[in-house]
Structure 1
């Protein structure tokens, strides 16, 4: 396999290099000029312009008496920041500088009166960055705030509207068909994925400056996640005080009378601690919900949720070349009667509590011609408990659940991380080289205690047909240390061509193995006038140690007893234990191929076509249970292939529209996830993954509405997604597998969420009032199916979505 990859890597290098060198000589490209013009109501003689590339400052200037500044820059894509006392800072992303040409940039600064920070550029900013090799989907802070989607208090719900991401029936996001744990999640540069799970961190969505999802061709700086990475960046404080508040008025419901429904306030406050030196951001998101199930009897029909999520951020300029950033997050959750529904009555629910704490600090130092070194340290602790409402066994019947939930558990997990990265000033040798290298080390600990009671399965007559007994084990602990290092070279041998070559090393003390990940990607600007750009890449990506799966080997055995019509055992009890051969365990490994083309079409429609392929080997999976011991082996092989078309157009400045279609294939040779808590009894089998959705359409956008009668200055926003239904398997009354997941699917999923918003001034403050409808077509979108062939409601769907009306009021700040 390694020889095949080496040959493919060599072919990619030769193709890129031969194509480029056949048309151009290897000479340094002449610089271009960035011409900035600043427009404001007052004098701007002290307006400062800062230009950054790859997070490092490469140039700065102060405007002249005409409010202009000319800056000579090497060809490439830059971030331009404009600051002026008494005005909000403005930022322009992806400003393209072409060799030998002057790029004009007109900036309108806004006086300190409202909370918003705006930049007005004369023309629509192009989403095509000729210097960018990763396949990236980005949502800005304005997108996160303006896109209407169900439960906007939870930023994770907007991930459904990012092309390439599918959200399963339990609300879990899957990037490129991968498991939740196969995606790396970062907050301001620090990994925030739970050691035993996926993305659980909650934040005020209004504190997010950007969500960036990279699905392929990303740098060797990032590892331990084969499906991509999701980066969440929060706002910094500035030299002016800002505040906003959203949804600070509770709502009510009319289910079984007039009752409190929910209260989901969120607010943020930021500003200077020391002018031009230190700034802060404080952000809060709260939730208090009451769920009432109309089909359940009074007194046994409610579930409650209380949650708080708080972020504190500090940024200090220790010196002109030294910046210190500190993040702190505290999430608390308390749920009563979690999981209550018509199919899951109150006695079968659980009470849940959880807490998640994050503390992180990063120090960035610029030196020697705009080179930069950064050091970071972070700590994450997650704790959760799950307690049933009684001590009775749980009874699974064809028509519902009786008794009390069978499992109680308590889990703790810690992640301690430290890293250092060095980004060097561009070097000139046969073109321009941007070198970066770094090291990191993580220590991950997981503690778990699980106690299970008998689980009894009955038929329609109430007779016991199967009983599951558990041999509980004492509390267990797992840990691993994960050191890593990388080197990355961004090489531009000629104008328009960029080649990213990287090499990464990872190790893991649990399996005691070294893992080498070579990666190669490139991009070439075929035609500058139409901004036609092609990109391609190949790389090896390893997953991290799945501590949640490993913990099953420390949670005791399970005994299955089967009974006939007379109540007698059909055969001896089947005892299943779960084991792992640590000495022969390998880390799951994926080879990812991708290629794409981007082009500006007529009417300034930006089109992008991507192909992505993920091929996995050495995946972890428990083998057949029927042998008595289910062993964790490296036999799983996942496959994902997708073609994705994305169209984007900005109707006018600040009003973008995006439409994307994805055709994908997500399959594995080991569909079943065996464990103590999975009652399905079967051999392993191949088929589509539970979140396989072959067809997906996603769209969102903002449109200004024409004035009509007294309706003036209203904005229209919408979001929609449609995808194929997810597969599911069927079982009999013994919970033995009947049909595999390829035989049945849920109905297709569709939601359309329109909204109208009006911004206005009232009593010296700026407000925004929005009214919208979630799931305006009232599509059912079931999340549950009765898959028991012996049930009287076999293949009936439940847990439906409904049309809901919502309103949002935001206090934007002083007028």
Structure 2
């Protein structure tokens, strides 16, 4: 807006570049807005004769604010983007009531394209869990072994989620049936600390035990103001349960899990940015599979680890955005039986020790590059972009099987007496 009150409006391209033409020199007030960011308004700008360069920095919405605005905007169709999209913002994830607020998957079910099965696997647009490409900050994070979304990180570190279910861009080479993109918070020049459920509870069933406890912590701020920032989000999950149908002292299970997401951003200049991400998951269950028909001896000790690291370099040069990134991740899953006794299948349950010791390890290396030129105007608007995506997978599996005995009833009229292997 100029000093006379005349307003001028434009939209940026995908790289954030915008331009005004044929403006007179003088003083102006600039305003910039984008969903998920704080409104930037009242920015004083002075234009001189000739070309001028202006940089506007928008901050992500991170504080809780309440605002009610009633309006009737006209429905507009963006002819440049035909992809079918659904999004969740950080506020949506925080405010929508779900059974387990510490699990991001529970909040993602609020999107109409996503459902969750009894095994906590997500299905997007009716597809199998492994047929969706899961992306975090531009890199694939689906499990290298199964392709499902097994990575966990603090719900409070999620800035937004987006589902693309139809007319997917060619920029996603492994899209399958759909795309689920997750964005996480970066740090800025303000110090921030947050915590949820920091105090543990006590469970007095079968003695005194640490109860269900799901604390979350976030911490972010500047390592060098105006240039170098960090953001760290830590989550811990502890679950304790009792199977009342089993004998006392052999009827409890305990699960531990934890995750840590560390993000770094370093600005060499306003046109050259470097991003780094480190995600680590660890989960352990001492009696996986414990239930009324399967006692502790038949369970397995489960150990799961997941690590992910990425580095992305972004450079704006000669009105062109260059982006280059590399990432590596590893997934390890191990099931260990409680002993080496035969696994016995009974009519009314099981006994002995589970028959299989399983260990799986998957590794993935990926590299992405993108080039996006500024729009050109000639009989319309034209924008050229190109990219490449290279990935490699390595899979190892070890399985050791033991003895299995299936017993039948000795007396057809007595279903509780079992003898003679079948």
User: What TM-score do the two structures reach when normalised by structure 2?
Assistant: 0.82
Residues 511-544 of structure 1 show CA distances to partners (whole Å, capped at 9, x for unaligned) of xxxxxxxxxxxxxxxxxxxxxxxxxxxxxxxxxx
Equivalent residue for 2:99?
150
Equivalent residue for 1:289?
239
For 2:284, what is the secondary structure of its paired residue? strand
Aligned mate of 2:149, from 188, 194, 199: 199
Equivalent residue for 1:497?
none
Q: How does 1:294-693 map to 2 (within 5 A)?
A: 294-369=244-319, 371-461=320-410
Q: How does 1:110-121 map to 2 (within 5 A)?
A: 116=63, 118=65
Structure 1 Cα separation of the partners of residues 257 and 410 of structure 2? 42
Structure 2 Cα separation of the partners of residues 360 and 462 of structure 1? 63
Indicate yes or no: 2:13 matched with 1:53: yes
Equivalent residue for 1:273?
223
Equivalent residue for 2:9?
34
RMSD (Å) for aligned C-alpha atoms: 3.2
Cα deviation for residue 338 of structure 1 reads 1.3
Cα deviation for residue 218 of structure 1 reads 1.4
Q: 1:115 to 1:440 in 2, by over 3 A?
A: closer
Contact 1:81 1:91 in 2 (8 A): no
Structure 1: which 5+ runs fail to align? Answer: 1-31, 36-50, 72-77, 83-88, 93-108, 464-564, 570-815
Cα deviation for residue 455 of structure 1 reads 2.9
For 1:334, what is the secondary structure of its paired residue? strand
Equivalent residue for 1:13?
none
For 2:384, what is the secondary structure of its paired residue? strand
Q: 1:185 to 1:382 in 2, by over 3 A?
A: same
Alignment length (residue pairs): 386
Structure 2: which 5+ runs fail to align? Answer: 1-6, 21-25, 42-57, 413-417
Question: Which structure features the higher share of strand residues?
Answer: 1
Equivalent residue for 1:79?
34
Structure 2 Cα separation of the partners of residues 81 and 259 of structure 1? 42
Cα deviation for residue 397 of structure 1 reads 3.2
Indicate yes or no: 2:111 matched with 1:136: no
Structure 2 Cα separation of the partners of residues 246 and 119 of structure 1? 20
Residues 22-53 of structure 1 show CA distances to partners (whole Å, capped at 9, x for unaligned) of xxxxxxxxxx9439xxxxxxxxxxxxxxx743
Contact 2:113 2:163 in 1 (8 A): no
User: What TM-score do the two structures reach when normalised by structure 1?
Assistant: 0.44
Structure 1 Cα separation of the partners of residues 198 and 72 of structure 2? 35
Structure 2 Cα separation of the partners of residues 80 and 568 of structure 1? 66
Equivalent residue for 1:738?
none
Cα deviation for residue 248 of structure 1 reads 0.5
Residues 345-370 of structure 1 show CA distances to partners (whole Å, capped at 9, x for unaligned) of 2111110112111110111111233x
Cα deviation for residue 410 of structure 1 reads 1.2
Structure 2 Cα separation of the partners of residues 343 and 229 of structure 1? 40
Contact 2:31 2:40 in 1 (8 A): no
Contact 1:255 1:294 in 2 (8 A): no
